[in-house]
Amino acid sequence: MKYLIIGASAAGLAAAETLHKIYPTGQITILEKERTQLYSRILLPYLLS
C-alpha cells in the first residue's frame, strides 16, 4: 500500500510514524514545502540554546 502525507508538521510526522508501525511494508511519502531537512519546530529553541 502507498501513503502520501502532505506537510511535515508534528501531525504529519506522527501520522507517518503511526502508519509505519501499523503497516511496516507500506510505502510512505511525505511532501513538504520547506527545502531543508525535516526538524521539530517545537524543539528548535532547545537545539539552539
pLDDT (tens digit per residue) in 1-49:
999 999 988 899 899 999 999 999 999 999 998 887 777 778 889 889 8
What residue spans define the domains of the chain?
A: 2-48
| Predicted pLDDT at 35 | 81
Residues found in the chain: 49
Contact (CB, 8 A) for 8 and 36: no
C-alpha cell at 42: 517545537
Point out which residues pair with 5 in neighbouring strands.
Answer: 30
The pTM (predicted TM-score) of the whole model is 0.71
Contact (CB, 8 A) for 6 and 31: yes
| Predicted pLDDT at 8 | 86
